[in-house]
Structure 1
Amino acid sequence: MDAVLLSRIQFAFTVAFHYIYPPLSIGLGVVLVIMEGLYLRTGERIYEQMTRFWIRIFALIFGIGVATGIVMEFEFGTNWAVYSRYVGDIFGSALAAEGIFAFALESGFLGILLFGWNRVSPKVHFFSTIMVALGSMFSAIWIVVANSWQQTPAGFKIEGTGLNARAVVTDFWEMVFNPSSMERLAHVLVGSLLAGSFLVLSVNAYYLLKKRHEAIAKAGFKIALVVATVAGLMQLFTGHRSADGVAKNQPAKLAAFEGHYDSLAVADMYLLGWVDARKETISGISIPKGLTYLIHGDFTTPVKGLKSFAPNDRPSAVNFVFQTYHIMVSIGMALIGLTLLASFLWWRGKLFDHRWLLQVFAWSVLLPQIANQMGWYAAEVGRQPWVVYGLLRTSDALSQALRAEQVLFSLILFTVVYALLFALFLYLLNKKIKHGPVDDAHHVEEVPLYSKRDNPIL
């Protein structure tokens, strides 16, 4: 393998590992705000216990997320020097905004969130929880804005030529609100809500299966189920809007999503299938003319296919893009079905009567993570061969002095270090979950949930 492919693998690996944690932080931050808000509203100690417990989980996830994100910044300089020079003005603006609006907000209130429970008033602590949750979202905003600019560049001009060319911001807000940024941001944030809420659902389902902390587990499960159900339904809307944007701005990527080659034909929407890139064919189960209808609102307008583009301007790994995209969509629909089923059982008063459902929820924590990873793979590989769509090819963005053996060595080293870090994360997470939400130094006896009349949310 050459240095370009190895560098792409290395960056994909580090991003994928890092991307386990930010969605959990964002989603869990929102759930924490709800939990602590209920504690302030009702005064019930059960909400205090669950909030304290999930703050400890949040701290672990947040810390690992920060540590794993640092490596990528070094890779921009070591592996992708031409790219860094080309987009430095764009990324610099976005990262500066992240530092001002996100990192400062998070770091300013994180200490109060973690250590201020008995040192500040409940309202001040609750305000700090809100600020940390908003800080996590603001961080995602600027990262997604920077990445979306690569997909749909806007608000810039090119200065210089050849290896010295670089994109310079001419309109900051046009750069921020580029054609895909808001659609992609909404999709990412809703996916984060699903990741965080399903972590809470999974842990509480585990407690209910083990018959531990049942009062807290039932209350926490219901809170997370509300968030997950709303987020799942929102994902239908944000996903459709995002796909419409891809159809308009990146038609080659959309064609790869559905394995669509022929531009003179209407396009089917595949539920599952397999793309033979060599023969430029696809086989599988599809809804006839379904993609045409979703894009154009009719069944007759052709959809631009991959054959409309020169071979060197198409995504090369079409089947990979197709599979990752469809895995993401399939998991998204499964999560919607699962949350709606649980919500229906809750309405019938039988939410916790089915052990099999709790077992499904205990393992379901993996599903949003897989969907988020698959979505990013589909989006980024589908953008190829461009690192900045239509402007800078990935093969031209690599550091000129980089050798393949250097990248291979660092990739092996990163794999070992990240494997150890992930094992440590799982060990600490499992230890905190096994300990449970009851703090021995501040033990509160579990009590039955009060009636719906006392708390209409439950």
Structure 2
Amino acid sequence: MQPATQLLQNVFGAGIPVDGWLFLLPAELASRLQFGWTISVHILFAALSIGLAPFIIYFTWKDVRTGSERYARLRSFWLKVFAAGFVMGTVTGIPMSFQFGTNFPGFSALAGELIGGPLAFEAKMAFFLEAVFLGVLLFGREKVSDRTYFLSSVLTGFGAWLSGFWILVVNAWMQTPQGYEMITRNGMEVAKLTDPIAAFFTPRMTWMYVHMINASVIAVALLVAGVAAYIVWKKRDAKAWHTALKIAVLLLIVAAPLQAVHGDAYGRHVEDTQPQKFAAMEAHYETGTADLHLFAIPTSPDAIMNPSEENLFAISLPRVGSFLASGGDFDAVVKGLDEYEQNPPVPLVFWSFRIMVGLGFLFIGLAFWGGYLIYRDRLSDSSLYLRAMIAASPLGYAALLTGWYVTEIGRQPWVVQGELKTGEAVSSTLSSTEATLSLAAFVVIYIGLVVAALYTLRWLIEGELDELGAEPAPDDHWYGPIPGVTSDD
């Protein structure tokens, strides 16, 4: 067990022990990993609902307005995907709220008055709104008027985006808390809500909401483009899927560059409000001017777990990190990680940030490449581009997850920035055995849910190809990343 033990200690901190031959993790670490794992899976389905919302609304509007078979086909297909994602999102999301009590009662006790309202609003305002009108979309096409049906698509999408809003209200408050005062209640320090508007609209809220919504749109646009490219690859005259591919690429042309521009400004906000996180993003240890690492690869295995200028091959722009952090001053001083007593797991933050940014620029390139092909009226004729989009179909989710890791892991050791550390929030009665076994159970169950979701998507794609009468080409031996969907299906 020693290599795995050393890996955990290098990533999460040298002071974290691992108990014995049974590989029982400390309760704090196991609880962190469990919540991180559950939210990583849940966010895949939450982002699916958010990102699919504009597609569902557009396809429904075109179906109602034109009566075209191609838009009816696209609406029906992606509505089924939306419904499957909604169910999976519900199943994977409910356990997270229970973990506040089972694993992090200190957090619930301190912040309950601040987070209880938004979480209740999310359930009663957003979830039920989305659920009710999703039912109309699924079963009411022939039972309600066209106007009501289209309105149902708008309200379903609005419910998905509203759900994201309330969840991010909670998370943004944890990043930049305000609108409260600390009081003693029953012998315990707790946060008392004093200004709901300030608590709901913290300095981080707008930045986080725009970035997360746009990231979800990008991830789903790549998924739509990948599925459309695969179906076009198999059935070149599938007109509906030519349309889906074009719409997804056009959306990417807008969303991918917007994410880069917004992310640049967002980074300056992070430096202003969470300088420790910003330093971890660039592995900036010594206080002073900061370079911007455009590209970095480790020169030794140790560099993976301890990224620094000494053990990385990096292409960097001198002092540009200071320029970006300050909004225009190349000589601005950026506080280094050496100034803090306890830092977040720097390698996870550093490498996650590099992956997120690198994928973001890849998406911009794919978007502009697709735009050029649309201009030349060759989007669906380019086999190379179809292959590229099929291969890129899961990468939007990879970028979304790594971005989320930067946000959440970069906040460590704080659960509530400046008020409550993770070690103080974890249950004092939770044993290593209980926490480790619970983590193992969540890993197994959630992997099963992800596999079920992928096979549902596979089943829908196979059904679509069967309806289209697609026949495999004799020389078609290439297949994409969708599990189980090959050129012989």
> Would the TM-score normalized by the shorter structure come out above 0.5?
yes
1:452 corresponds in structure 2 to none
1:46-87 CA-partner distances (Å, limit 9, x unpaired): 111111111111111111111110111111111111111111
Contact 1:50–1:437, Cα closer than 8 Å, also in 2: no
2:157 corresponds in structure 1 to 133
How far is 1:279 from its partner? 9.2
1:301 corresponds in structure 2 to 332
1:453 corresponds in structure 2 to none
Please say if 1:30 is aligned against 2:60: no
1:403-422 CA-partner distances (Å, limit 9, x unpaired): 01001111111122112222
- Secondary structure of the 1:165 match is strand
- Secondary structure of the 1:244 match is helix
Task: Tell me: CA distance 1:268–1:194, structure 2 relative to 1, closer, same or farther (3 Å).
Answer: closer
Tell me the amino acid that sits aligned with residue 366 of structure 2: L
Please say if 1:72 is aligned against 2:96: yes
* 1:253 equivalent among 277, 291, 301: 277
Please say if 1:187 is aligned against 2:211: yes
Distance 2:123 2:307 in 1: 48
Tell me the amino acid that sits aligned with residue 10 of structure 1: Q
**TM-score, normalised on structure 1?**
0.91
Distance 2:212 2:127 in 1: 19
Distance 1:154 1:335 in 2: 36
How far is 1:141 from its partner? 0.5
Which is worse superposed, 104-113 or 255-264? Answer: 104-113
2:183 corresponds in structure 1 to 159
Contact 1:82–1:163, Cα closer than 8 Å, also in 2: no
How far is 1:225 from its partner? 1.4
Contact 1:272–1:285, Cα closer than 8 Å, also in 2: yes
Distance 2:436 2:29 in 1: 10
1:12-50 CA-partner distances (Å, limit 9, x unpaired): 111111111111111111111111222233332211111
In structure 2, the gaps of 5 or more residues are 1-24, 470-489
2:321 corresponds in structure 1 to 291
1:422 corresponds in structure 2 to 450
Contact 1:213–1:437, Cα closer than 8 Å, also in 2: no
- 1:304-323 counterparts in 2 under 5 A? 304-309=335-340, 311-312=341-342, 314-315=343-344, 317-323=345-351
- Secondary structure of the 2:316 match is strand
Distance 1:65 1:163 in 2: 38
1:151-188 CA-partner distances (Å, limit 9, x unpaired): 10010111217982211211111011101111011000
- 1:397-416 counterparts in 2 under 5 A? 397-416=425-444
- 1:9-408 counterparts in 2 under 5 A? 9-160=33-184, 164-211=188-235, 214-274=238-298, 281-282=309-310, 283=312, 284-296=314-326, 297-309=328-340, 311-312=341-342, 314-315=343-344, 317-408=345-436
How far is 1:197 from its partner? 1.3
Q: Give % identity.
A: 35
Distance 1:182 1:55 in 2: 29
The number of equivalent residue pairs is 438
Distance 1:418 1:325 in 2: 25
| Structural RMSD (CA) | 2.0
Which is worse superposed, 253-262 or 154-163? Answer: 154-163
1:454 corresponds in structure 2 to none
**TM-score, normalised on structure 2?**
0.86
Distance 2:186 2:272 in 1: 29
Task: Tell me: CA distance 1:358–1:254, structure 2 relative to 1, closer, same or farther (3 Å).
Answer: same
